[in-house]
Amino acid sequence: MSTEPREPQPIGAQIEQAFDYRGYVTLSRRDGSQLVGFVYDRGPAYVELFDEAASQRIRVAVDDIASIELTGEDSAAKAQKIWERRKGALEPPETSAWGDWEDREDRPVLLLVALPGELRSVADVIGARRHGAVARGRVGSVSAVGLAVGMGGGAAHVIAAEHPRLVISCGLSGALDPSLATGDWVLASSVCDDDGESIAVSEPILRAARRELVTGGGPARLAEGEILCATQVAATAAEKRALARPGRLAIDLESGPAARAAHRAGIPWLGLRVILDPLDLELPAFTRQPHPSYIVPALRHALGGPRATAELARLGLRARTAHRSLAQALCRLAPMFGPRFTPASGPTLGPTSGPTSGGIAPVEHAS
């Protein structure tokens, strides 16, 4: 094998090779200076390049060029290698619909709820009209997407599609702590499922949410602790008591899938519930079954007699209070939606500034 250095190619051939190359080149001028860029065009007397940041176009006279070397990675060869390596194997369906373009500024905040009634509260906050189970709006300069996933609905698909900057699983909930009343806010420090698998909210996110929720005054009660994500509704006081544990504040059917999907996608998430039914309140039997809308089952229940009608009316009032409280809580969280929000850099609040874990905070209520 010969070790003699090869004759350099004529400049014309070097230019053609650089033009055909899908990577950066280093162009050396006759005056000794160098330029790194992407050659996208050439003529008999010139070469045109994008600079390395692809922000500037530069034209260099052929007469000024001493040599061109292919110094950057060849994107076409790289694509081919990747393709050959995975030949036949497909990317999983959860792959982000945004590809690798994660640094875009307009990633939305995703607000996941279970039911259309909850979506109404979300839509009000983000100034959106609802199209079926979806509401798209904005909070300031940030786009926000509200989605009703249904009771127990999953979130992996929508998180993959939307590639949000933040996921907030929110909605109405049953209380598992006797001190909680209708309209109280529960900030999830973690979400636990029936099998005992628990996912914790990242501390910076939790700290920021706590800060926003307790700021602004007004009569709102905030508690912070574990949320149980169950697979069926706990309608009676006995059922709720059976699920209660120290530090476990509320029960829902949706937080778990949302938390898991966001956690897997590496996206910050937050769980926020508003209490609808306190621990000792018995819910009507029709609430046990998931329905896309509860209007018909509720009307049917009301036909059961004056007591059932009164029970339903009281529940309706509680739901109204809870929905209003949910909208207020989301308004409070709005500063977290912005692109400049960086939870890790948020100021640290001392333990007395917010609620203690598993307990009711110093009372501050939004009106």
Which parts of this chain interact with another protein (CB under 8 A)?
A: 19, 22-24, 38, 40-43, 48, 50, 52-55, 72-73, 75-76, 78-80, 82-84, 86, 90-93, 95-99, 101, 104, 106, 131, 134, 136, 145, 161-162
**Closer CB to another protein, residue 79 or residue 285?**
79
190, 198 contact by CB (below 8 A): yes
The nearest distance, CB 331 to another protein, in angstroms, is 22
* Residue pair 363/218 in contact by the 8 Å Cβ criterion: no
In the complex, the smallest distance separating the C-beta of residue 200 from another protein, rounded to whole angstroms, is: 29
265, 161 Cβ separation under 8 angstroms: no
Tokens of 84: 């050959």
| Cβ proximity to another protein, 134 vs 298, nearer residue | 134
Strands 57-61 and 46-51: antiparallel
Contacts of 315 (CB under 8 A, 6+ apart): 277, 283, 284
User: Is the separation of the CB atoms in 168 and 202 below 8 Å?
Assistant: no
Instruction: Name the CA dihedral angle for 99, 100, 102, 103, rounded to a multiple of 10 degrees.
Output: -130
Cβ 75 to another protein shortest distance, Å: 4
Closest contact distance (angstroms) between CB of 101 and another protein is: 6
Rank residues 90 and 303 by Cβ distance to another protein and give the closer one: 90
Return all residues near 318 (Cβ < 8 A) that are at least 6 apart: 182, 276, 277, 281
Beta carbon of residue 103, minimum distance to another protein (angstroms, whole number)? 8
Q: Which is nearer to another protein, 48 or 193 (CB)?
A: 48
Closest to another protein by CB, 86 vs 300, is: 86
**CB neighbours of 285 closer than 8 A, spacing ≥ 6?**
235, 301
Are 296 and 302 contacting, i.e. CB atoms less than 8 angstroms apart?
no
What letter does residue 189 receive in the DSSP assignment? E
Question: How far apart are CB 19 and another protein at their closest, in Å?
Answer: 8
Q: Which two tokens stand for residue 131?
A: 């199209």
DSSP sequence for 192-237: EETT--EEEPPHHHHHHHHHHHHTT-SB--EEEEEEEE-SS---SH
Q: How far is the CB of 297 from another protein (least distance, A)?
A: 28
- Judged by beta carbon, residue 143 or residue 189, the one nearer another protein is 143
Cβ 112 vs Cβ 169: under 8 Å: yes
Tell me the three state secondary structure of residue 112.
strand
Q: Residue 172 belongs to what H/E stretch?
A: strand 166-175
Q: Dmax of the chain from CA atoms?
A: 102
CB of 15 to another protein, least distance (A): 11
Distance CA 182, CA 221 (A): 10
Q: Shortest distance, CB of residue 54 to another protein, whole angstroms? A: 4
Q: State which residue, 80 or 231, has the beta carbon closest to another protein.
A: 80
Alpha-carbon distance of 341 to 109, in angstroms, equals 12
In the complex with another protein, the residue whose CB is nearer, 163 or 273, is 163
Q: Which is nearer to another protein, 38 or 185 (CB)?
A: 38
Which C-beta is closer to another protein: that of 91 or that of 195? 91
Q: Rounded to the nearest whole angstrom, what is the least distance from the CB of residue 161 to another protein in the complex?
A: 6
